[in-house]
Structure 1
Amino acid sequence: MSVTHVHKDLDQLTLTLVADFAASTERVWQLWADPRQLERWWGPPTYPATVEEHDLSPGGQVTYFMTGPEGEKYRGWWRISTVEPPSSLEFTDGFADDSGTPATDMPVTTMRVSLTAYEGGTRMELRSVFDSREDLDRLVTMGMEEGLQQAVGQMDGLLAG
């Protein structure tokens, strides 16, 4: 697995995942930029994603759902803040109800993706910024840390293929 480090900073209200890949930044970027590739890794292996809308431009949005092992669906959304292909992406990440409407009772995070050349490949840093310690604790308790590691772990197979 390419994940080299996961760090939770309670003072800064961040959860940061670092992964290294034996692929160019342009190739790793495609795993974000192409909705068919994104849905092959976004979400843990037992909760595959289906991307419904995919607009990676400032002000754009991505909507998706993950399907669990029993067929249950979990919806989510991104609102794109900034995008600089192939090196960075920032978006607000949240949950949605069954109709795709943002869920107001669930935490929202700001996700910052950074791709840089590193040792002949690419280093990807995913930094989730939380509004409060309670939000961080809630999402970590729900399995966010493990889920991100499992999701990013699927990127290797796509990059090798």
Structure 2
Amino acid sequence: MEPINARSDVRTKLIEATPAQVFAAIRDPSKVARWWGPDGFSSTIHQFEFHPGGWWRLTLHGPDGTDFPNEYRLVRIEPDRMVQIAHPSPDHCFVLTIELTRRGDATLVSWQQTFDQAEHYQPLAEFLAQANEQVLARLAAEVHPPSAA
């Protein structure tokens, strides 16, 4: 198997919130629907079984109106610490691990998306780098929405 760094996108984001506040935005499907996906995308969640072995089914709606059905399996959940999600697609099979680490009054969110094969990851690497940064920014905004002036 290829080295993990040849088939993974790794991102971090410091969010000014507690791990519990960040975890709340990850476990609540109404919140997930607002932040999941890159800029310009929206999500419709059809099923969200937030427990190990549970299914998460959604449709990502692209800015051009294209729909992208997605299906994930929740693999591991450690409240306020970590969520691991598998995307069992034959052509884009990956595991996403989201870790939450307290850093003073903030939380460091570590995001690692690891594909089974580098040949599946490499064509998407540039897109994923940008998309995952946007998703993390949207997560941060969900945890701390802009205040109304």
Contact 1:63 1:76 in 2 (8 A): yes
The question of 1:22 aligning with 2:16 is answered yes
Contact 1:107 1:139 in 2 (8 A): no
Contact 1:91 1:112 in 2 (8 A): yes
The question of 1:77 aligning with 2:82 is answered no
Task: Give the structure, 1 or 2, with the largest relative contact order (CA under 8 Å, sep 6 or more).
Answer: 2
Q: Secondary structure at the match of 1:136?
A: helix
Can you list the C-alpha shifts for 1:83-119, whole angstroms capped at 9, x where unaligned? 111111111125xxxxxxxx53x21101111111013
Q: What does residue range 23-38 of structure 1 map to in structure 2 within 5 Å?
A: 23-38=17-32
Structure 1: stretches of 5+ with no match in the other structure = 1-7, 95-102
Structure 1 vs Structure 2 CA RMSD? 1.6
The question of 1:156 aligning with 2:140 is answered yes
Q: Give the structure with the larger helix fraction.
A: 2
Q: TM-score, normalised by structure 1?
A: 0.82
Q: What does residue range 87-98 of structure 1 map to in structure 2 within 5 Å?
A: 87-94=81-88
Identity %: 19
Structure 1: distance between partners of 2:38 and 2:113? 17
The question of 1:46 aligning with 2:40 is answered yes
Q: Secondary structure at the match of 1:154?
A: helix
Q: Secondary structure at the match of 2:97?
A: strand
- Aligned to 1:9, which of 5, 8, 13? 5
Q: Which runs of 4+ in 1 moved over 4 A?
A: none
Q: Secondary structure at the match of 1:64?
A: strand
The question of 1:114 aligning with 2:108 is answered no
Q: Secondary structure at the match of 1:62?
A: strand
